């Protein structure tokens, strides 16, 4: 195989393409022979089981293939224009009619070979009303009916038939080259019952039966997941090996005394997470772990114990939050938790100035200050730690890659614990954050009152608003949340301002204020502080409060136009209430004719992980990736529900390889290294140290 391989060649030099078609292929993301080979069919037309036209009878459900021998548009008395075509095969002919679709006259031509599926009726003779149709070939083009036809994503000036013909013309030489590039040992593929690469790609484009496509797709899903996990494994190794860990001693007294003094026992899930974190901190390699748990599941207590473990080993701990409000809230929480062991964390945010700021910076630099809580102010010039032992990042998805990397570098060889209150399925977590080890708190503390959720149509709104008045009159507080209807801060502000006007009219005796993305951050923070202090009874907001401060007195969450939100986002919003001892409520209004399935699921459970799995099932991983994280991988073949077993195996094998050969430099791993670069060279910055 020479250096100028067809796989690496620009697509324009392949048979049947040329410069003009290459420009059109560019719109489909097809730039090379390899891209063409991996251009996935959107669907398949099964022409292996077609009916003979001469055997059709009224009432049949049929699939036929035939040549268009006549066509035209027929007007009717009711001004309904019908496109009709006469289709013929060797056994006979039949009329095919598309009422109300006269434009098909421009798309279907005499001489075309047409595949049509639909029901057979009788109207002045046999007539087929199609549910689906595909032009298999134009007049003069080759066609071999009676097989499974792939239908490809197309673009203007490049039809799926043209793409199919180009792929067919180039498939054999491309696959011949691929056969030389199989990177997986035969025993791996046999153990997972997966075909070799060349067989999978041939089946993808030339399936003998539609059922054959499944095993081909799983093979391609496997390699997609494996190389993503290999990238994650290398990133994890780099983080853990660049600076050695502290290898903290076990059985010390500060964290143990703290946990013993708590007025409650850790849940089983909390204890499991704490055991995993302790083992990492005592290991000689650096910890790089994601602690995931629902709102209220007790992540902060586990993180607090980890911070004290670093302190008892003579090291410093820092917790970083995405906003000043959250940093201040963590400060209050941790000060309360640490009272029993005589520790007092200090705050470093943009609002900490003058002498107080100088004291904090000095204590961090000389090591006399062991516990610090901060925001991005930690990145500013002049900030340093004497003996960093643990970095905790809260709500890690709200920090960019560069900020997380900066915090890691600031911490030198410190262990890292990143926390997220956004439950996502394990398969999605391994795909997005596979470079981290994963601890999950999937159990709520006993005695916590579940939030009662009602999903209502707008016909019930007046009754709900009257009920809310009773809650406000009893001294409680409420949120009203509106979706971002367009990607425009102006529209967002207008929607919120209109709502404030309406609610002030409805509730003149209560203070109603708003927060939204168009407000200056200082004013937004001030409004949230007033709400937390009880000075505001009703807060109108967009999703800026999705991850926010705890307001124990807020017992009502109203979500307007709930059908516009995803399940995970709805659950995050609901988690803003239920923070105190009083019963809390969530009312989700929708304007759909029937209650959408995800809103029924939302009302049925408070379990964030169960809802996350349902969200993945309902919306698909593409939408979730887009919502979760910039730079998320595009999975063209893998389905995280169906292929969870492949993902686990991919992670295990990738880590085993990198543990023994981090640079993939051994002869047996060189092909894997080349393939990794081919697939992910442009993404390493996004994933390597994410």
Classify residue 127 by its DSSP letter. Answer: E
Cα 616 to the center of its chain, rounded Å: 8
Structural domain spans, the chain: 11-44+155-181, 49-146, 220-242+644-687, 253-441, 452-605
pLDDT value for 564: 86
What is the H or E stretch that residue 274 is in? helix 268-282
Q: Is pLDDT of 207 > 60?
A: yes
Domain 253-441 bears CATH identifier 3.40.50.300: yes
| Count of residues in the chain | 690
CA torsion 320→324→329→331, rounded to 10°? Answer: 60
Secondary-structure breakdown of the chain: helix, strand, coil percentages, each rounded to the nearest 5: 45, 20, 35
Cα 507 to the center of its chain, rounded Å: 39
Q: Is pLDDT of 402 > 60?
A: no
Tell me the pLDDT tens digit for each residue of 10-49.
Answer: 999 999 999 999 999 999 989 999 999 999 898 887 777 8
Nearest CA among 421, 442, 446, 441 for reference residue 264: 446
pLDDT value for 475: 95
Buried b (16+ CB within 10 A) or exposed e, 397-407: bbbebebbbeb
Q: Which of 102-116, 395-409, 582-596 has the lowest mean pLDDT?
A: 395-409
Q: How far apart are CA 324 and CA 397, in angstroms?
A: 16
| Mean pLDDT, residues 186-205 | 94
Do residues 373 and 334 touch, judged by C-beta distance below 8 A? yes
Quick one: fold of 452-605? Rossmann fold (3.40.50)
- Residue 306 makes CB contacts below 8 A (sequence gap 6+) with 255, 274, 277, 278, 281, 317, 390, 392, 415, 417
Q: What is the mean pLDDT of the chain?
A: 86
pLDDT value for 340: 92
| Mean pLDDT, residues 639-655 | 92
For the beta carbon of residue 573, count every other beta carbon within 10 angstroms: 24
Q: How far is CA 611 from CA 409, 469, 607, 614, in A?
A: 36, 30, 6, 5
Which token pair is 665?
């430099």
Integer Rg of the chain from CA: 31
Do residues 215 and 201 touch, judged by C-beta distance below 8 A? no
Tell me the pLDDT tens digit for each residue of 49-74.
Answer: 888 999 999 999 888 999 999 999 98
Dihedral pair phi/psi, residue 226, rounded to 5°? -65, -45
Tell me the pLDDT tens digit for each residue of 124-179.
Answer: 888 999 887 888 888 766 665 567 888 898 888 888 878 988 999 999 999 999 88
Do residues 537 and 471 touch, judged by C-beta distance below 8 A? no
Tell me the pLDDT tens digit for each residue of 86-130.
Answer: 999 999 999 999 988 898 999 899 999 888 988 999 888 889 998
The superfamily (CATH) of domain 49-146 is: Nucleic acid-binding proteins (2.40.50.140)
For the ranges 14-28, 410-424, 567-581, the one whose mean pLDDT is highest: 14-28
Do residues 340 and 360 touch, judged by C-beta distance below 8 A? no
pLDDT value for 404: 57
Looking at the chain, the number of H-run helices and the number of E-run strands are: 23, 20
Residue showing tokens 């069919």: 41
Confirm whether 49-146 and 452-605 share one CATH topology. no
Q: pTM score, two decimals?
A: 0.79
């Amino acid at each position: 195989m020479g250096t100028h391989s067809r796989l690496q060649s620009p697509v324009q030099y392949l048979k049947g393409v040329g410069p003009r078609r290459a420009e059109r292929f560019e719109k489909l993301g097809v730039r090379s022979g390899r891209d063409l080979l991996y251009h996935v069919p959107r669907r398949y037309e099964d022409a292996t089981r077609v009916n003979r036209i001469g055997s059709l009878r009224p009432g049949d459900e049929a699939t036929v293939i035939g040549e268009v021998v006549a066509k035209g548009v027929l007007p009717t008395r009711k001004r309904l224009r019908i496109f009709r075509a006469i289709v013929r095969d060797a056994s006979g002919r039949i009329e095919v009619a598309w009422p109300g679709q006269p434009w098909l006259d421009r798309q279907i031509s005499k001489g075309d070979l047409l595949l049509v599926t639909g029901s057979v009726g009788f109207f002045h003779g046999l007539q087929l009303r199609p549910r689906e149709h595909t032009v298999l070939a134009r007049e003069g083009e080759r066609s071999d009916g009676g097989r499974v036809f792939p239908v490809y994503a197309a673009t203007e000036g490049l039809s799926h038939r043209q793409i199919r013909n180009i792929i067919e013309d180039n498939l054999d030489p491309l696959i011949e080259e691929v056969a030389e590039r199989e990177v997986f040992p035969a025993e791996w593929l046999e153990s997972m019952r997966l075909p070799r690469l060349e067989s999978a790609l041939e089946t993808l484009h030339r399936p003998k039966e539609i059922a054959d496509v499944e095993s081909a797709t799983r093979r391609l899903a496997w390699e997609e997941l494996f190389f993503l996990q290999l990238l994650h494994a290398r990133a994890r190794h780099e983080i853990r090996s660049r600076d050695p860990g502290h290898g903290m001693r076990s059985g010390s007294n500060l964290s143990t005394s703290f946990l013993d003094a708590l007025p409650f026992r850790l849940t089983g899930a909390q204890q499991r997470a704490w055991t995993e974190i302790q083992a990492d901190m005592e290991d000689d390699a650096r910890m790089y772990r994601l602690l995931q748990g629902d709102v209220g599941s007790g992540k902060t207590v586990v993180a607090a114990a980890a911070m004290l473990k670093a302190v008892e080993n003579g090291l410093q701990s820092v917790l970083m939050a995405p906003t000043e409000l959250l940093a201040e809230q963590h400060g209050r929480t941790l000060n309360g938790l640490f009272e029993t062991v005589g520790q007092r964390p200090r705050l470093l945010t943009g609002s900490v100035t003058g002498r107080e700021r100088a004291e904090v910076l000095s204590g961090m630099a000389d090591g006399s200050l062991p516990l610090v809580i901060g925001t991005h102010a930690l990145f500013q010039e002049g900030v340093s730690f004497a003996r960093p032992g643990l970095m905790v990042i809260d709500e890690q998805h709200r920090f960019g890659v560069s900020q997380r990397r900066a915090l890691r570098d600031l911490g030198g060889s410190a262990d890292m614990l990143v926390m997220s209150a956004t439950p996502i399925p394990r398969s999605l977590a391994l795909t997005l954050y596979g470079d981290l080890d994963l601890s999950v708190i999937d159990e709520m503390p006993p005695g916590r009152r579940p939030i009662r959720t009602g999903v209502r149509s707008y016909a019930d709104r007046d009754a709900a608003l009257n009920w809310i008045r009773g809650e406000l009159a009893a001294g409680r507080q409420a949120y009203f949340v509106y979706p971002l209807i367009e990607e425009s801060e102006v529209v967002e502000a207008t929607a919120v301002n209109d709502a404030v006007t309406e609610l002030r009219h409805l509730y003149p005796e209560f203070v109603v204020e708003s927060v939204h993305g168009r407000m200056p951050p200082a004013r937004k923070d001030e409004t949230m502080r007033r709400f937390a202090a009880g000075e505001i009874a009703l807060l109108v907001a967009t999703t800026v409060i999705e991850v926010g401060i705890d307001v124990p007195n807020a017992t009502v969450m109203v979500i307007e136009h709930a059908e516009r939100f995803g399940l995970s986002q709805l659950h995050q919003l609901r988690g803003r209430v239920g923070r105190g001892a009083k019963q809390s409520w969530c009312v989700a209004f929708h304007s759909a004719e029937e209650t959408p399935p995800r809103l029924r699921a939302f009302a049925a459970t408070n379990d964030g992980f169960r809802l996350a799995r349902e969200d993945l099932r309902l919306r698909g991983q593409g939408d979730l990736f887009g919502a979760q994280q910039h730079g998320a991988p595009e999975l063209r073949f893998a389905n995280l529900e169906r292929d969870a077993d492949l993902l686990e195996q991919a992670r295990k094998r990738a880590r085993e390889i990198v543990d023994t050969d981090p640079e993939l430099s051994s002869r047996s791993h060189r092909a894997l290294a080349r393939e990794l670069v081919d697939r992910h060279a442009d993404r390493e910055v996004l994933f390597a140290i994410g």
